[in-house]
Chain A
Amino acid sequence: MRLEILNSGYSAGTRALFMVIRLFSGQPVPDAARLVFYRPDFYGTLAKKFTHETMRGPSAWSVGDRELMAAYVSKMNESAFCIRAHTATASQAYQDGAKVQAVLADLESAPIEEPLRATLRMLGKLTAEGTLTAEDMREVLSAGVSPQQVEDALAVCVAFNTTGRLADAFGFEILSPEGFEAGAKYLLKRGYR
């Protein structure tokens, strides 16, 4: 990463934990995970709490839907690390990588339900333009999305607009395909805590 403290500024205990993770997973600890271990009292602890509640807390959206939203928002931001990480996680969650690829290639023709399509369209506009109108929201609601689902989707958008910016700014290392698959498996088993 671009700051040396994020590469080597960890306590002995944290470094030992990274070694254990590497031993059991067979993969290096992703920079996204390393970041939240750096001075966790500043960012990591509360960021993990918000992200876990958003991605794994109660919601009418499935885990796969929320991971797809994370991938879609990351694509809008051209955040290379997060696109790969959440494409892998959404694909594993749905057990359908083709659906995820179709959404990322062309939202309008992808084989998904209209409420999810309308929600992704709204998240894409918010991410790209930084603003939404009431009419934008009425279109989502009229597609059959509940207000609470909109709120839940907005929280996903916020979480991954944050993580994507940090990934790009700090320069997260792009993992191997096996590394992203291992990360996705971990996120589906343990979440973001």
Chain B
Amino acid sequence: MPAEDKKRAAHRALVDRLLNGEGRASAEQRACAFGNDGLSPPLSVLINKVAVRPAEVTDADFASAKAAGFSEDELFELVVCAAVGESARLYKAGLVALAEAGGGEEPG
């Protein structure tokens, strides 16, 4: 397998595990966090910050999500999904631009 395919394959494996493997948060919640879409406050506030302006995440964002009933393990998973999800969108945007410039294959 070429080196670049190994990188893409390793990334796909990570995404697949987060979204389709077992977790403390539901698969639906993990998908919403990954997509930064479809969540309600206060969780949506935390997840949107992770995706869009992570330097602004505060202790209060976690405290609010916990007060709404989310466990630490659920928040661990959902924050990871949000971070990987936003990065996956960047990956796709970069690979699509490369393909459109005639330099590579479209992401699968």
Contacts and interface: CB of A to CB of B under 8 A. Distances in A.
Interface of A: 2-6, 9, 38-39, 41-43, 46-47, 49-50, 53-54, 57-59, 77-80, 122, 126-127, 130-138, 141, 147-148, 150-152, 154-155, 157-159, 161-162, 164-166, 168-171
A4 B59 CA distance: 12
Given A5-B76, A148-B4, A157-B91, 8 more contacts: A42-B18, A53-B7, A122-B94, A126-B94, A130-B90, A133-B100, A135-B101, A152-B4
Contacts of B76: 3, 5-6, 38-39, 42
Given A2-B59, A5-B73, A169-B50, A134 B100 contact: yes
A49 B83 contact: no
B14 A47 contact: yes
Contacts of A141: 101, 103
Contacts of B93: 126, 130-132
A50 B11 contact: yes
Contacts of A136: 97
**Chief secondary structure at chain A's binding surface:** helix
A132 B104 CA distance: 14
A158 B88 contact: yes
B82 A3 contact: no
A155 B18 CA distance: 18
A137 B103 contact: yes
Contacts, number: 155
A162 B84 CA distance: 5
- Size class of B's contact patch? 35 or more
A142 B43 CA distance: 44
A137 B98 contact: yes
A155 B13 CA distance: 14
A3 B61 CA distance: 11
Contacts of A166: 79-80, 83
Nearest to B15: A46
Given A46-B13, A151-B95, A59 B3 contact: yes
A18 B89 CA distance: 34
A57 B7 contact: yes
Residue from A38, A162, A168 with most neighbouring chain B CB atoms (10 Å): A162
11 contacts: A4-B72, A38-B76, A42-B17, A133-B97, A134-B101, A137-B103, A151-B7, A164-B54, A165-B86, A168-B57, A169-B46
